[in-house]
Amino acid sequence: MENSCGRRVVITGMGVVSAVGCDVATFWANLLAGRSGIGPITRFDAANCRCQVAGEVRDLDITKYLDAKEARRLDLFCHFAVAAGDQAVEQAGLLGANLDPSRIGVLVSSGVGGLQTVYDQSILLSERGFGRVSPLTVPMMIPDMAPGFLSIRYGFTGPNFAVVSACATGTHSIGEAGWIIRRGDADIMLAGGVENCTVPLGIGAFASMKALTSRNDEPTRASRPFDKDRDGFVPAEGGGVLVLEEYEHARARGATILGELAGYGLSGDAYHITAPDPEGTGAARSLRMALDRAGITPADVDYINAHGTSTPLNDQVETKALKLALGETVRRIPVSSTKSMTGHALGAAGALESIACLLAMRDGIVPPTINYETPDPDCDLDYVPNTARAVPVRHAVNMNLGFGGHNAALVFRRLD
């Protein structure tokens, strides 16, 4: 993203923890193959819950990143932050590079924070009294412990905080980190989102809202964005961390540039606490803002990684928003939802999907929307059904919407 001083923001590192892989290469290979990471919930007995499936992280060996004592003092969402953060920092070559730590910050956020800790400690309080509540409860549950712990881990003393905007959290985090670099408050920012919501309280609460799927007998087919038979989102967990860096700074140290954060837009619906504006005007406004800041038109967009939650209302409204923002041009643009494979990782979604955009630009191939079987007349765009597609991608868009009417969009640009 450019400003009057000419400071541009590029990406020099990425890290992933997800239901389809706990490193970038595995994540991407499974997305392109159309492999679902969704299965029966194993973290607790969900037999009496309306939703019994989730996109759980199954392959993370946290001992590769943390010793046993450290791991016990962190909630699972922070485990995801450490694993994804270490991958991104290593790829970007930040450690041992003689960089000024005061010019490196962290903005890695979570939509709900340490929900497992809240649940466990609430039971302890109820059953055994105040004296049994862990003194680590507060640092384990607060969402800003993800950036806090990462800054301590790496010694980065630049801007350090978290944002919370439900399912738009990861997208806002990346966009706001870009602004920090643009205005000169840092040269490098770790940015992204992490989430662990596969907890009885989280699953039960979303299920009570009728927001989750009840397709429990077919876990891998449960998330079906834009399909006429979609019946709710599949909860998921994981995290994505990107290293954002000022362009000239990255060039000066010889870093490999993976793409440019070219535009960022954000808006509010001011409509309802959970439902999106049915006209899609807020989401459309955030996307138009991102395109304007990137200095491009709808004709320049080559791929859209949509919010695509697999809920009846979201997918219809998002389709309407894309048409409103992009006009008839949208009908030639591939639009896919990788949530069909990962599930909906809430505050981590925007980070995981931004990484998918960057990889699509790198390889000239876009991931599919799997489980797309029955077209919906209200969702009539090109959703890249079921099979990845070779497409030259110079500009990719990621868009996310959150409870509370939060909308955010990012535009990434390939640098040749």
Catalytic residue among 307, 357, 395, 406: 307
Catalytic residue among 344, 357, 379, 395: 344
Query: Around 17, how many Cα atoms within 13 Å sit in the side-chain half-sphere?
Result: 30
78 in catalytic set: no
172 in catalytic set: no
Query: Hey, which residues are catalytic here?
Result: 167, 307, 344
